[in-house]
Structure 1
Amino acid sequence: MIEESSGDLWFAALVVIFCLLLSAFFSAGETAFTGSSRSRMLVLERGGDKRAKLVNRLLEMRERFIGTVLIGNNIVNIGVSSFATSVLVAIFGHEGAIYATVLMSILVIVFAEVLPKTLAISSPETVSLALSRPMTWAVAFIGPLALAIERIVRLMLLPFGIRIGANTPILSASEEIRGQVALLHKEGGVAKVERDMLGGLLDLEDLTVSEVMVHRTKMRTINADLSSEEIVREVLSSPYTRMPLWRGSQENIVGVLHAKDLLRALDAVGGDASKLRVEAIALETWFVPDTTSLRDQLKAFLAKKTHFALVVDEYGEVMGLVTLEDILEEIVGDIKDEHDLSVQGVRPQPNGSVNVDGSVPIRDLNRAMDWNLPDEEATTIAGLVIHEAQTIPDTGQIFTFHGFRFQVLRKSRNRIMALRITPLALVRPRVE
C-alpha cells in the first residue's frame, strides 16, 4: 500500500467532482433538449430569445447532438472511473478496485444520472435554455468525432442490409399532433371542446364536401316558375338566407336567390312584388365536385368571398349543397342561431341509451356523445349499420358491433329512419 499525500487526495477528489459535473451536464442536456417543446422554443426564438435559437439549431442537427452527448458522457464516466480506480488501488492495494467500483457506481448513478435527469425532466425548457451555450460549444468540439463514428457505424451495418435513416416516420405531423392532443385531454390538460376543435381542424384535409353537405333530399329550394309574390313568401318563411332556384326539375338549378338581394330589389320597386324579375336578382350557381376536400373548399370560399356552393357527382348530377357554416361546424361544432331548427336527431334516454335519427352524421354523434364510432366506410349512422350488417335491416332487428348495440326503431322503405344505440357496458346480461 502506497502512502498518498493530502494534496494528491484533494486533487483526486477535485478531478472526480469535475468529471461528475461534466457527466451531469451531458445527462441533463440530453433529457432537457429531447423533452423540451419545439413549438415553445420556436415562439421564444421569434420573440428574440437568442438561447432559444441555439436550442432550435441543436435540435435541427439531432444526430450530431445525440452523438456528442453519448460520446462526451461515456468518455467522462469511463475516465473518472479509471482515475478513481487507479487512485484507490494505489492507496488500498487490490481492494481499491472494489472500493472504486462501489463508490463510483453510487456517485455516477445518483449525481450524474438520476439527479440531473430528474431536474431536467421537471423543467426541460428552462434547463435547455440554461445549457444552450455550453452545449453548443460541446457539439462544436465533439461533433466531428460523433459524425466520424456515425459513418463507421453505418458502414458496419451495410453488410446486414440495415440503412440508417432510410425509413420514414410512421406517424405524419397531423397524427402526431392528434395523438399529443388526445394525451393532453386524457391527462386533463385540454378540455373536450378544445380537443374536438383541434381534431376537426386536422380533419379538414381528410374529409370531402360530400361528407358534410346537405343532401338534395333535404335541400330547401324554390320553383322559379312560381309568381314573384309566391317566391317572396317562400323566402320569408325559410330559415335560410340563400335558396336555390330550379326550373323544370329540382335537379335543374338555375340560380341562387339571396334574401338580402330580394329585399333590396323589393324596396327598389316600392314593395310591389309583381314588378320583380327574380331570375335577374339570383346569383350565378357555383358547382363543386363531391370529392373536394374541406380544406380546399374552405380556401375556395374565402377566395371567392361566397358562402354557398352546390355539390355535384362525376356525372354532373346535383347531390346536395355545402356552405361555409357546414365547414366551420366541423371545427367548432354545431352553430345555432334563433332561426335554426331545434331538431338535432340525437336524444339521450334516462337509461343511458340514445335514440338517433338514421340521417345523423357519425362525426356529429361522436362529438355529441364523446364516442369513437368509425366513419371511414359510412357518413351517417344508418349507413354504418347497413355497412356492418351487409343488408338493409328490418324494424326491431338488433346488431352489436364496435362496443354498442344498435336496434332499428323505425324504417321507411329502404331507409333506416331511427335507431336506439346502447353502449354494451350498460347492457345487462340476461340471468337464466
Structure 2
Amino acid sequence: MISDAILAFLADYWLSLISVIVLLMLSAFFSGSETALTAASRSRMHTLESNGDQRAGMVNRLIERRDRLIGALLIGNNLVNILASSLTTSLLIGLVGDSGVAIATLAMTVLLVIFSEVLPKSWAIASPDRFALAVVPAVRPFVAVAGPISSLVNGIVRRILNLFGVNLSSDMPMLTAHEELRGAVDLLHREGAVIKADRDRLGGVLDLGELEVSDIMIHRTAMRAINADDPPEVCVRDILESPFTRLPLWRGSTDNIIGVVHSKDLLRALAEPNVEPTNLDIVKIAQKPWFVPDSTNLKDQLNAFLRRKLHLAIVVDEYGQVQGLVTLEDILEEIVGDIADEHDLEIQGVRQEADGSIVVDGSVPIRDLNRALDWSLPDEEATTVAGLVIHESKTIPEERQAFTFYGKRFIVMKRVKNRITKLRIRSADDTAIV
C-alpha cells in the first residue's frame, strides 16, 4: 500500500521532482562559478587572453567588476535555493502532511550543503582557472541580465554601511599590486615552490620603489675619497691601492667634492708620454661629480644610472651637505644580494656565536641582516641595527644595556662616543646572561 502511494505520488509530481533536481544543479553551478571566478589567477587569464583565448578575455572582463559579478551569482544562487526548498516543502506536505515542513527543511539542508555548496566549491578551488574557463560562457549572459539588479543591491548595501561609518569603496583594492605579488611569493616560498634566494631577489625588485638612496648609501664616515691637495704620487698610490674603481675627489673639505676619479682614466693618463706620478694633474682626469638628493627612491635612481650611463653618485641632504655616495652596484645588490669579486674587502659584520647568539656591527643594515638570517626586523624608521636600537629605546644606550623588542634581545657590547659599534642579538626566549 505504501509503495502504491509513493508510485501514485511520483506519477502526480514527477515534474516537480525533476524541477528540484535541476534547481539543485543550478545552485551547484552558481556556487562553483562564484568560487572559481573569484579565485582565478588574473595573470594566468591575461596570458591566455594575449594568446587568443576568448574565454579568458570574458573572465577578465567579469573580474574587473568583481562586486557586480559576485552579487549576480549570489542572487541566482539564493533564488534557486529558495525555489528548490519551497517546491520540496510543498511536495512533502502533500505526501506526509504537516510534518513535511520539518522533513523538507532537514533534507534540503543536507542536499544543499553537500551537493550545492561543499562539492562544487571544493571542485572549483582545486582547479579555479580551468573551472572558470568552463563556466564563463554561461555565467556571462546571466551576469548581463542580473547585473543591474546586483548593482542596485550593492548600492543599497553601501548606503546602509555608510550609516554605520563603514566606507565600502568598489574602486579601492585592499592590496596594491606589489603587495599581492609579495604575498604570492611569500606563500610560494612557504610551500617550497620558491627558494629563499629567489624570494629575496623578487622582494628586492618590489622594494626598489619603497627604499630611498639614504637607506643603502655608503655613509660619509665610511666613504673612501682622495684629497686633491695631496702630492700627485700619493693620490696615484691611494687610487691604485684602493679596492674601488671610482673614488670621489675633494679639496679643502670632504663636503667639497670636485670630481670622481676612475682608475682606468688614471692608467690611461699614466700611459701618456712624459707623464709620471709626480707630475700628474689628478684634477684634470677627474670626471664631473653627480649629486643626487638622499630622498631619491631606488627605482628612480636605478633608471637615472642607466639613462646617464654612470655608476656612482654623491648623495647630499636638503642643505647640500654630502651624506655619502651610492653606486649602481649598491642598488643591484638590493635585488641579487651581495656581489663580491676578487678585489672586494671582506667585511664580515655578522658573526654566529657558539651559544646561538649573533654578534653584529652597529653599522650593519637591517635589510642585510633580515636577508641573511631570514628575520623580519622593521627598517622603516632606521637603516642600521644600531639605529633600530636607538629608535626603539628612545635613548643612546650604555654598554651592556639590553633591550627586547620584535622577539629579539639586543645587548649593547661596545659604544664609541655616541655610536653603538657592536651588539649581541639573541632570541627573546633565550634567558642566557651575557
Q: Same fold (TM over 0.5)?
A: yes
Match of 1:231 among 228, 235, 240: 235
Q: Which amino acid aligns with 1:213?
A: M
Residue 90 of structure 2 is aligned to residue 86 of structure 1:
yes
Q: Which amino acid aligns with 1:133?
A: P
Take 1:369 and 1:159, find their aligned partners in 2: how far apart are those partners? 48
The Cα offsets for residues 44-67 of structure 1, whole Å up to 9 and x where unpaired, read as: 222222111111111112122111
Which position in structure 2 is the counterpart of 1:221? 225
Take 1:320 and 1:160, find their aligned partners in 2: how far apart are those partners? 52
Range with greater deviation from structure 2 (212-221 or 400-409)? 400-409
The Cα offsets for residues 192-211 of structure 1, whole Å up to 9 and x where unpaired, read as: 22232233223222222112
Take 1:422 and 1:156, find their aligned partners in 2: how far apart are those partners? 51
User: Which runs of no fewer than 5 residues in structure 2 stay unpaired?
Assistant: none
Match of 1:56 among 53, 56, 60: 60
Q: Secondary structure at the match of 1:93?
A: helix
Residue 73 of structure 2 is aligned to residue 30 of structure 1:
no
| Coordinate RMSD, CA, aligned | 2.6
Take 1:340 and 1:230, find their aligned partners in 2: how far apart are those partners? 22
Between the aligned residues of both structures, percent identity stands at 56
Which position in structure 2 is the counterpart of 1:123? 127
Q: Is the 8 A contact 1:352 1:426 kept in 2?
A: no
Question: CA separation of 1:178/1:102 partners in 2, compared to 1, >3 Å: closer, same or farther?
Answer: same
Take 1:316 and 1:75, find their aligned partners in 2: how far apart are those partners? 68
Take 1:280 and 1:367, find their aligned partners in 2: how far apart are those partners? 42
Q: Which amino acid aligns with 2:73?
A: V
1:111 deviation in Å? 1.0
Take 1:393 and 1:6, find their aligned partners in 2: how far apart are those partners? 86
Which position in structure 2 is the counterpart of 1:286? 290
Match of 1:104 among 100, 103, 108: 108
Which position in structure 2 is the counterpart of 1:308? 312
Range with greater deviation from structure 2 (43-52 or 91-100)? 91-100
The Cα offsets for residues 57-106 of structure 1, whole Å up to 9 and x where unpaired, read as: 11112122111111111111111222222233333333433333333222
User: Which runs of no fewer than 5 residues in structure 1 stay unpaired?
Assistant: none
Q: Is the 8 A contact 2:67 2:170 kept in 1?
A: no
Which position in structure 1 is the counterpart of 2:423? 419
Which position in structure 1 is the counterpart of 2:216? 212
Equivalent positions of 1:395-414 (< 5 A) are 395-414=399-418
Residue 333 of structure 2 is aligned to residue 329 of structure 1:
yes
Question: CA separation of 1:380/1:148 partners in 2, compared to 1, >3 Å: closer, same or farther?
Answer: closer
Equivalent positions of 1:190-205 (< 5 A) are 190-205=194-209
Question: CA separation of 1:429/1:345 partners in 2, compared to 1, >3 Å: closer, same or farther?
Answer: closer
Question: CA separation of 1:279/1:18 partners in 2, compared to 1, >3 Å: closer, same or farther?
Answer: same
Which position in structure 2 is the counterpart of 1:76? 80
Match of 2:49 among 45, 49, 63: 45
Range with greater deviation from structure 2 (318-327 or 173-182)? 173-182
Question: CA separation of 1:156/1:196 partners in 2, compared to 1, >3 Å: closer, same or farther?
Answer: closer
1:300 deviation in Å? 1.4
Take 2:168 and 2:365, find their aligned partners in 1: how far apart are those partners? 45
The Cα offsets for residues 89-136 of structure 1, whole Å up to 9 and x where unpaired, read as: 333333433333333222222111111011011111111111111111
TM-score (ref. length: structure 1): 0.90
Q: Secondary structure at the match of 1:421?
A: strand
Which position in structure 2 is the counterpart of 1:141? 145
Question: CA separation of 1:89/1:411 partners in 2, compared to 1, >3 Å: closer, same or farther?
Answer: closer
Which position in structure 2 is the counterpart of 1:254? 258
Q: Is the 8 A contact 2:69 2:147 kept in 1?
A: yes
Q: Secondary structure at the match of 1:416?
A: strand
Which position in structure 1 is the counterpart of 2:348? 344
Residue 71 of structure 2 is aligned to residue 67 of structure 1:
yes
Q: Which amino acid aligns with 1:33?
A: L
Match of 1:175 among 175, 179, 185: 179
Take 1:240 and 1:160, find their aligned partners in 2: how far apart are those partners? 62
Question: CA separation of 1:382/1:6 partners in 2, compared to 1, >3 Å: closer, same or farther?
Answer: closer
Take 1:230 and 1:74, find their aligned partners in 2: how far apart are those partners? 85
Q: Which amino acid aligns with 2:413?
A: L
Take 1:133 and 1:182, find their aligned partners in 2: how far apart are those partners? 34
Equivalent positions of 1:362-401 (< 5 A) are 362-401=366-405
1:157 deviation in Å? 5.9
Take 2:340 and 2:106, find their aligned partners in 1: how far apart are those partners? 70
Q: Secondary structure at the match of 1:94?
A: helix
Q: Is the 8 A contact 2:316 2:323 kept in 1?
A: yes
Range with greater deviation from structure 2 (230-239 or 356-365)? 230-239
Q: Which amino acid aligns with 2:40?
A: S
Which position in structure 1 is the counterpart of 2:321? 317
Q: Secondary structure at the match of 1:393?
A: coil
Take 1:9 and 1:297, find their aligned partners in 2: how far apart are those partners? 76
The Cα offsets for residues 129-157 of structure 1, whole Å up to 9 and x where unpaired, read as: 11111111211222223233334545666
